[in-house]
Structure 1
């Protein structure tokens, strides 16, 4: 519940907004899983929404063969201080506010039951502080890194902004165990589709394994920011448009 809520709230933070109200969306196999477990899921979502300063105004639940939980979140933002994914400019550095690797670690968890505390901490951390820091720095361009992976979301940002994004692969941070999970084959179909989607627009000199990590589908990932955010690593820069929308070195 905490992870799902942080993931839902991230869309508001990615635009420089402040969440105001959320509605629970719950699908639950009540003949398979106890309702007490659903209560804990909802309690986790409520706790993260409270941390974000957002009200939870009820919601909707249905009987479902698979457990599903999320939130529909409404936020407000100053139209003059929005973070947009089409406002990137050549010559601006690219910062990343959370390490990658959530996807491969989640895949390993589903297959083996192993628990990765660092990944849980990353997924349950709100992007509020990162968004506030970006706004204070006068930054106007950002997006969050979720299902399309770093490469997918950066491709959309660069394409919308009319620039080329250059990534220094060695500067990208990863969660502990991410490379081992990749090496052991815990790569989702979504991650492979992410890489296939951006490949026609990609110029790369790194290995296929490195590209898979950069395309790793994230849940409640960090912000990808066109600008320097205090405390966040700079992983590349935006340049004047070239032959490729994405360049990885």
Structure 2
């Protein structure tokens, strides 16, 4: 018999100081923290991807045909519906596997919940939402760990496989590469509108559809030699993750504001000042490396730094592969995929035109 509870459920978002990938430690603070310690262990040559380029996941070569992808991602609620919260968090965690060009094989649940505050059926719905996404990805939730915490937290430790020669780091873009974005932007804006009780049912549906769409094209894109680098756009916003790609490659990323895809209503809400605090923290962390064109106003800047929860893949590919990459995205249901810029020679940074 299912466990029942007499506890009245509060809004999930009311229990946390942040939500989704907006919970991330600001990139500048994170860099300072990581710089304060030296590695205690010399990594093996089989560690193909570590933390040297702020990539999406670690990759370890098992043999000539297989490399293991390992990642973890968890956060506090971005929505009040517990089932949707679980789905979004699981989709976001599995995205890191796809961003490396791999295919997930299993996941472990990471659960922190205020046991005496939330009804147990609410917590069960969070877990059920995560399990539903893993089932869609064709993998089991094979275990995990839980704690009683002040704020609700959920996510996954996920593992996947990729051929060692098909690993797609975020640092291998080349001059002349085209930049393609797989999902529209604006998740943080819509989540801020939701928290202020401004988001209507249509806007909520748009946000859920985007944040629960698995970034499966990454596994297919890894098979193309002309795809040089992939990352996913999450908590640091488009500018932050494009900057990581630019710094890793030693190139300048040029982004065309007019070509960016947006979630319905996101631009309108941003124009009304409905933005997240994480947007400002992002800009404070990396703004000195961004060059904004004359037509980029404060609203556009807030949109460009908006934290994306379970955002789209950002792909750097040879120009001749552009249509093939777009066809892969569109054939898998990513109708908003768009060419948004290119990589050029120059001082590492991001230029918005």
**Which residue of 1 is the match for residue 16 of structure 2?**
none
Distance in 2 (alpha carbons) for counterparts of 1:203 and 1:81 = 33
Matching residue of 2:140: 55
> Any conservation in 2 of the 1:191–1:212 contact (CA below 8 Å)?
yes
Q: Deviations over 1:94-151 (max 9, x none)?
A: 00000000001111111216351111100000001x2134224331301000000000
Q: Retained in 1: the 8 A contact 2:103–2:219?
A: no
- Based on CA coordinates, which of the two structures has the bigger radius of gyration? 2
- What is the CA–CA distance in structure 2 between the aligned matches of 1:51 and 1:113, rounded to whole Å? 31
2:228 maps to 1:140: yes
Greater displacement, 136-145 / 33-42: 136-145
The more displaced of 59-68 and 219-228 is: 59-68
Other structure's SS at 1:112 match: coil
- Equivalent residue, structure 1, for 2:246: 158
Secondary structure at 2:196's aligned position in 1? helix
Q: Does residue 89 of the first structure (1) align with residue 177 of the second (2)?
A: no
1:97/1:224 contact within 8 Å kept: yes
Q: Could you tell me whether the CA contact under 8 Å between 1:81 and 1:140 is conserved in 2?
A: no
Q: Please give the per-residue CA displacement for 1:41-87, whole angstroms capped at 9, x wherever unaligned.
A: 11110110111122211211111222111111111111100111110
Note if contact 2:102-2:222 (Cα within 8 Å) is conserved in structure 1: no
Q: For 1:240, which of 345, 348, 351 is the aligned residue? A: 345
Question: How does 1:61-76 map onto structure 2 within 5 Å?
Answer: 61-76=146-161
Distance in structure 2 (CA, Å) of the matches to 1:109 and 1:185: 14
Moved more, 130-139 or 113-122: 130-139
Structure 2: distance between partners of 1:172 and 1:219: 17
TM-score, normalized by length of structure 1? 0.95
Matches within 5 A, 1:158-237: 158-205=246-293, 206-227=296-317, 228=322, 229-230=325-326, 231=330, 232-237=337-342
- With the length of structure 2 as denominator, give the TM-score of the two structures: 0.68
Q: Contact between 2:189 and 2:274, CA under 8 Å: does it hold in 1?
A: yes
Q: Deviations over 1:157-211 (max 9, x none)?
A: 0011011000000000000010122122221121111122222111111112112
Deviation for aligned residue 1:20: 1.1
Mapped to 2, the partners of 1:113 and 1:4 lie a distance apart of 23
Query: What count of residue pairs does the alignment treat as equivalent?
Result: 247
Match of 1:120 among 205, 208, 212: 208
Distance in 1, matches of 2:143 and 2:220, equals 31
Name the residue aligned to 2:120: 35
In 1, are the aligned partners of 2:166 and 2:223 still within 8 Å (CA)?
A: no
Where does the alignment leave 5 or more consecutive residues of structure 1 unmatched? none
Distance 2:184 2:170 in 1: 20
Is residue 29–residue 64 contact of structure 1 (8 Å, CA) maintained in 2? yes
